[in-house]
Amino acid sequence: MLERMAALLAHRCPLGWERAGSLLATGETVEIGHGLTGWNQQRQLARQNGHLLGYAGVLFGADHPAIQRELENPADRLLAALVPTPAIEPALERLTGAFVLALSQADAVFLARDSAGVKVLYWTVRQGRLLFASEIKALFADPALPRRLRAGALPEYLTFSFVPGIGTMFEGIEELQPGSVLRFHRGQASVRRHFRFEALEAEASGAVDDYPALVREALEQSVADCLAVNPNRLPAMFLSGGIDSSAVLAVAARQRPEARFPTFSVHFGEEYQRENDFVQLMVDRYRTDHRWLEIRPAHFVERLRDIIWRLDDPIGDPVTVPNYLLAQAAAQVAEIVLNGEGGDPCFGGPKNLPMLLARLYGPLPGEPAEGWLERNYLKAFQRCYQDLDVLLDPALRREAGGDEALVSVLEPFFHSARPRDFLNKLMAMNIRLKGANLILVKVEKMTAANGVLALPPLFSRRIIETSLMCPPGTKLEGAVEKSVLKKAVRDIVPEPIVARPKVGMMVPVRFWFQGDLRRYGERLLSRKNLRRCGFFDPDYVQRLLKYEMEGVPGLRHGLKLWMLVTFLLWYEQMVDAPLPIQPAPPVRSRD
């Protein structure tokens, strides 16, 4: 089983993989496999007195000082610190970093995911056996596990461009949520979310000027933690020209003033909007070794199927391809990369203003009083929510629960007692859904596929906690988004970057599907292919391909076509075809 799983994740094991096994007190067998990459030179598996530990990613400050000199590898030190602990779950909850972890102790197995969700872990219980892996496809190494789509998953994907919450595209397979610990005992699994950052919500107290200093201190410590992962080799940096990635670079450059960081940016050609001038401001100010990466369909279309395979769970955000190509380029010079992910969900970025206005004005005339805020949030994603009734097969739409099922995903967030402030509620949703199920997952999958560890200093446990300690008016100050973050770094980031509004990486799929990707889209989204899978109305998809203006709610043809292409490429490989299990990479036993 473990060898088949490793074979399906060969792209995560460029230097082979290691394995270890042990027995629980119940006599049950526990086995863990872990891929070896360039950045994790020290083993991340440990075994001691029948206990077994494996983790992927990095743990900050996890070494036990009393035994640090005696044991060479961090995994050995961590296990030696955890094994004598009478209450293992509280000890796991205190761990910080960017990691997923598995631990066997006595008669139980524990799984844990870091508080923000930088690394990802999927699991299922089948016939009393717990299977877990960093990618869903590895779970299907068990031939008895059915590859059966969950009814509500496709409408969720088309609405959000990802599958939110614990669910995945498949029945019976769940994503362990950030800040959670799973306990598996005698064939039964229970999950408890321990990182409830919502309870940290603070009322305004003290001087307004205190909060930027608080954010700056948290960011400096978060960057320092990331730089300490490998102090002997510089990480690469992804630069977008926005405040978030610029803030990370500025803080890192001040902590390593002698360093010349390798930095990477993308653009899509001179005919499209570019952030080059803003990126250049940071490159010139901090003397980075910069590389520009131009991305056009010809550079990736032949590899798109393989990129989607490595993406694993379909994510319909076109930024996935730039993420992959950036990681591929960065892997040539670095094994760790720092990015600016996290600034938007943690500090009140885009899409909050429309929701605040909706709440201010209330439901539209004739709009049902129940669920109107949730429906406004679904529309705010500007994906395919308004197209579902004409795009999806009516029987599938009914089986998935219709509009009520989508509204139910958001109801717990809108109706929770904490956070109390509406902006903080929106932030909590963005952190727990968009952050942990979209932003961090796509970056993790696309960087790990290239043997690179991605670390987001602006999406750490410390940053999330600090954000909730800041009053809402410091984050969204009038119409100024991320105000407290901008004030926190104003002295080290050029003013044109601080003052500019959020733009985001505008991947020009709108134009690609009218030009370079037109034939590719028409071939993949042909009536024959669509009828074969049976989910979509071929006539409506043809209207999207022809860029018809009438009867296409919210328009955005290019983004909707990209989401459909992504899903079909994913479906063909993950559901329709036999899994391509090749020989496993070389294995190193952990003795």
* Residue 15: other Cβ atoms inside 10 A: 15
Whole-number pLDDT of residue 64: 46
Q: Which residue, chain included where needed, has tokens 């203003």?
A: 353
Helix, strand, coil shares of the chain, percent, nearest 5, are 45, 15, 40
Q: What superfamily would CATH give domain 2-195?
A: Aminohydrolase, N-terminal nucleophile (Ntn) domain (3.60.20.10)
User: Side chain identity at 451, as an amino acid letter?
Assistant: G
3-state secondary structure 165-202: CCECCECCCEECCCCEEEEEECCEEEEEECCCHHHHCC
CA distance 535 to 394: 9
Eight-state DSSP code of residue 385: G
CA distance 215 to 467: 7
Question: Are residues 102 and 53 in contact, defined by beta-carbon separation less than 8 angstroms?
Answer: yes
Tokens representing residue 24 in the block? 């629980």
Q: Which residue, chain included where needed, has tokens 């990480």?
A: 235
- Taking the CA atoms of 337, 342, 347 and 352 in sequence, report the sign of the dihedral they define: positive
Q: Which spans in 449-588 are helix H?
A: 461-469, 472-475, 483-488, 495-499, 509-512, 518-524, 527-533, 538-545, 557-571
CA distance 523 to 545: 11
Eight-state DSSP code of residue 432: I
Rounded to whole angstroms, what are the CA distances from 66 to 49, 70, 71, 285? 19, 9, 10, 43
Whole-number pLDDT of residue 206: 61
Question: Are residues 226 and 235 in contact, defined by beta-carbon separation less than 8 angstroms?
Answer: yes
CA distance 36 to 19: 11
Whole-number pLDDT of residue 67: 47
pTM for the model: 0.95
Averages of pLDDT over runs of 10 residues in the chain (591 residues) are: 93 91 93 88 85 94 53 84 85 95 94 98 96 97 94 96 97 98 96 96 72 97 95 95 96 97 95 87 97 96 96 95 97 96 89 88 88 93 94 95 96 95 95 95 96 96 95 91 96 95 82 96 96 95 94 90 98 91 75 50
Whole-number pLDDT of residue 173: 98
CA distance 134 to 490: 38
Whole-number pLDDT of residue 207: 67
3-state secondary structure of 142: coil
Whole-number pLDDT of residue 584: 76
Q: Give strand pairing partners of 184.
A: 109, 189
Question: Are residues 216 and 204 in contact, defined by beta-carbon separation less than 8 angstroms?
Answer: no
CA distance 46 to 54: 6
- Taking the CA atoms of 150, 151, 154 and 155 in sequence, report the sign of the dihedral they define: negative
Tokens representing residue 372 in the block? 């109107």
Whole-number pLDDT of residue 445: 97
Whole-number pLDDT of residue 245: 97
Rounded to whole angstroms, what are the CA distances from 210 to 246, 462, 485, 510? 22, 17, 12, 44
3-state secondary structure of 5: helix
* 190 CB-contact burial (10 Å; exposed 0-12 / middle 13-18 / buried 19+): exposed
The domain at 198-349+421-499 falls in which architecture?
3-Layer(aba) Sandwich (3.40)
Whole-number pLDDT of residue 555: 85
- Closest-CA residue to 498 (of 278, 197, 249): 278
The domain segmentation of the chain, as residue ranges, is 2-195, 198-349+421-499, 508-579
Whole-number pLDDT of residue 66: 46
- Taking the CA atoms of 240, 243, 245 and 250 in sequence, report the sign of the dihedral they define: positive
Q: Which residue, chain included where needed, has tokens 């993790």?
A: 444
